[in-house]
Amino acid sequence: MDTQGIKYTGSKKEILPVLLELIKPLNVKTVLDGFSGTTRVSQALKQSGYTVYANDIADWSKVFGECYLLNKKPASYYLPIINHLNNLPGKYGWFSENYGGEPNGGSAMQKDGRKRIWQLHNTKKLDAIREEIDKIVKNKIEKSVLLTSLIIAMDKVDSSVGHQVSYLKKWAPRAYNTMKMEVPRLIIDDKKHMVYQKDIFDLTNDIEVDLAYYDPPYGSSNELMPPSRVRYASYYHIWKTICLNDKPKLVGVANRREDVGDAISGSIFEEFRKNNDGQYVVIEAIEKLIRNTPAKYVVFSYNNNGRATLQAIKDILKNLKKKISIFEMDYKKNVMATITRTTNEWINDTNGKNKEYLFLIHKKGKSEAVSEIKIEKIDIRNLAPANQRRLIFSLPASEVGLPCG
């Protein structure tokens, strides 16, 4: 499945074949991607013939959704516009002032004692192009196509480990390359897809779909990691600024937007708080979300490094008293989970095992029989096929209060 995106924590690019194989026998037509991120799942679902409703509170996700789901114009329409933008002379502007740096013989540390994420030759192009897009493009979806192209181009020449919380001390080799916009891999069809930017609990009151796919932000199971380190709004604050072009007030050594602080932009699914029973509030949120979703099926994706443990989620599923299937995949850790504290990052020691779980919940009881789903030879980040297996735990009907057989 040919999808497109950026470096993104929690990306589901590698498990798309598993997810699509899981959904295929269910005979569904409409699918909600409730936490769509860079929309790789939404793109794959659209290419597979489903009508897709994508939702995420992030501005960049809305832009990506409008590009890949709502655009009806061919690549040939955008090519001359993108050629024009690529040929603009660079100019020193707001992005260069705050995020551009000199090569300095390989050091990203600048005279002010701060590192930068891009070299100046690329932020000058960013300044010129972003200003020009607002001048020449008024159509919302067309602008989203161009902004998607711009973000992907800048992502290819950054100097980071995949987020915008801190930057590398030495310039990454790719940072010396010159950014170049390209037409995104547009997907044209005649279906009526939708893109939302809502709190997921508000959205479930407004729509009804055949299947909902949820991949919420995990937070972290590492007690040492401060909350600001796992907020998606903080991780990708520059993408928001490129989308809005609002030149916000900046704070901290990474020049983050002031409006991406924990109290302002945090999701309940990233919360570190516990309830009176000593349980993380994210567990309550997961149960509420699954229970209140108006869909025949819910597919819930979760990682063993999140705040909610596998046992806690199993307990939630038992309470739902619905037919359940669960799948497990071994998954290599994201680079941000394996960098030591000496480099201003945090490590979560879970014996080196990183697992992704897919939970299939039959919301409408036993009215629709689902055949056994077998996943074979699924290569997750080059792991041996033997490591991709049906999870040993699958709730029997008797355990969840349904008749056996």
Tracing tokens 């991780």 back to the chain, one arrives at 235
- At residue 402, does pLDDT exceed 50? no
Q: What per-residue confidence (pLDDT) applies to 28?
A: 97
* Residue 300 C-alpha from the chain's centroid: 14
Nearest to 337 by CA among 348, 353, 321, 352: 348
User: DSSP alpha helices (H): ranges in 137-175?
Assistant: 140-155
Task: Please indicate, yes or no, if residue 150 is contained in any of the structural domains.
Answer: yes
One domain, residues 67 and 79? no
Nearest to 144 by CA among 215, 50, 234, 73: 73
CB-based contacts of 136-144 (< 8 A; 24+ apart in sequence): 136/81, 137/81, 140/66, 141/66, 141/67, 141/70, 141/71, 141/72, 142/71, 142/73, 142/78, 144/62, 144/63, 144/64, 144/65, 144/66, 144/67, 144/70, 144/71
Task: Please indicate, yes or no, if residue 227 is contained in any of the structural domains.
Answer: no
One domain, residues 318 and 400? yes
Give pLDDT tens digits for 260-307.
875 554 677 766 666 777 667 788 888 899 999 999 999 999 877 776
- At residue 352, does pLDDT exceed 80? no
Task: Please indicate, yes or no, if residue 313 is contained in any of the structural domains.
Answer: yes
One domain, residues 210 and 305? yes
Q: What per-residue confidence (pLDDT) applies to 159?
A: 96
- At residue 37, does pLDDT exceed 80? yes
Q: What are phi and psi of 293, to 5 degrees?
A: -75, 120
The secondary structure of 189-248 as a DSSP string is -SS--EEE-S-HHHHTTT--EEEEEE------S-TTS-GGGG-HHHHTHHHHHHHH----
One domain, residues 335 and 402? yes
- At residue 374, does pLDDT exceed 70? no
Name, in order, each residue with C-beta under 8 angstroms of 224's C-beta and a sequence gap of 6 or more.
Answer: 341, 346
* Residue 298 C-alpha from the chain's centroid: 18
The pair of three-digit structure tokens given for residue 389, joined into one six-digit string: 């297996």
Q: Contact 32/294 with Cβ under 8 angstroms? A: no
Determine the structural domain holding residue 204 and report its residue range. Answer: 1-71+192-222+266-405
One domain, residues 114 and 148? yes
Q: Please tell me which residue, 13 or 219, carries the higher pLDDT value.
A: 13
Q: Contact 395/313 with Cβ under 8 angstroms? A: no
Which range has highest mean pLDDT (14-28, 58-72, 216-230)?
58-72
Q: What per-residue confidence (pLDDT) applies to 393?
A: 34
One domain, residues 160 and 257? yes
Question: Looking at 264, 286, 317, which one is the last position of a domain?
Answer: 264
User: What gap in Å lies between CA 34 and CA 56, rounded to an integer?
Assistant: 7
Give pLDDT tens digits for 306-334.
767 778 888 887 777 778 888 887 766 55
Q: Please tell me which residue, 351 or 339, carries the higher pLDDT value.
A: 351
Q: Contact 169/202 with Cβ under 8 angstroms? A: no
Q: What per-residue confidence (pLDDT) applies to 271?
A: 65
One domain, residues 88 and 127? yes
Task: Please indicate, yes or no, if residue 337 is contained in any of the structural domains.
Answer: yes
Task: Please indicate, yes or no, if residue 104 is contained in any of the structural domains.
Answer: yes
Which of 103-117, 137-151, 220-234, 269-283 has the least mean pLDDT? Answer: 220-234
Task: Please indicate, yes or no, if residue 372 is contained in any of the structural domains.
Answer: yes
One domain, residues 256 and 276? no
Q: Is 293 helix (H, G, I), strand (E, B) or coil?
A: coil
Distances in Å between the Cα of 47 and the Cα atoms of 10, 20, 186 are 21, 11, 10
Q: What per-residue confidence (pLDDT) applies to 353?
A: 65
- At residue 214, does pLDDT exceed 80? yes
Q: What per-residue confidence (pLDDT) applies to 152?
A: 98
Give pLDDT tens digits for 244-256.
999 999 998 899 9
Q: Please tell me which residue, 380 or 149, carries the higher pLDDT value.
A: 149
Task: Please indicate, yes or no, if residue 121 is contained in any of the structural domains.
Answer: yes
- At residue 376, does pLDDT exceed 60? no
Q: Please tell me which residue, 83 or 280, carries the higher pLDDT value.
A: 83
User: What gap in Å lies between CA 255 and CA 403, rounded to an integer?
Assistant: 58
Task: Please indicate, yes or no, if residue 378 is contained in any of the structural domains.
Answer: yes
Q: What per-residue confidence (pLDDT) applies to 278?
A: 65
User: What gap in Å lies between CA 48 and CA 17, rounded to an integer?
Assistant: 11
Residue type, 140: K
Q: What per-residue confidence (pLDDT) applies to 366?
A: 54
Q: What per-residue confidence (pLDDT) applies to 111?
A: 93
Name, in order, each residue with C-beta under 8 angstroms of 88's C-beta and a sequence gap of 6 or more.
Answer: 125, 128, 129, 132
The pair of three-digit structure tokens given for residue 153, joined into one six-digit string: 């181009």
Q: Contact 354/305 with Cβ under 8 angstroms? A: yes
10 Å Cβ neighbour count for 394? 12
The total domain count for the chain is 2
Distances in Å between the Cα of 12 and the Cα atoms of 43, 127, 198, 200, 379 are 11, 31, 21, 19, 13
One domain, residues 168 and 255? yes
Q: What per-residue confidence (pLDDT) applies to 350?
A: 41
One domain, residues 198 and 277? yes
Name, in order, each residue with C-beta under 8 angstroms of 152's C-beta and a sequence gap of 6 or more.
Answer: 4, 5, 6, 181, 182, 184
One domain, residues 63 and 77? no
Name, in order, each residue with C-beta under 8 angstroms of 73's C-beta and a sequence gap of 6 or more.
Answer: 142, 145, 186
Nearest to 162 by CA among 338, 371, 375, 366: 338
Q: pLDDT averaged over the chain?
A: 81
Q: What are phi and psi of 195, to 5 degrees?
A: -125, 125
One domain, residues 380 and 248? no
- At residue 73, does pLDDT exceed 70? yes
Give the global pTM: 0.85
Angle at 156 between CA 87 and CA 126, to 5 degrees: 40
Give pLDDT tens digits for 127-182.
999 999 999 999 999 999 999 999 999 999 999 988 888 899 999 999 999 999 99
- At residue 243, does pLDDT exceed 60? yes
Residue type, 197: Q
- At residue 226, does pLDDT exceed 60? no
> What CATH code is carried by the domain that includes residue 207?
3.40.50.150
Which of 104-118, 178-192, 211-225, 383-397 has the least mean pLDDT? Answer: 383-397
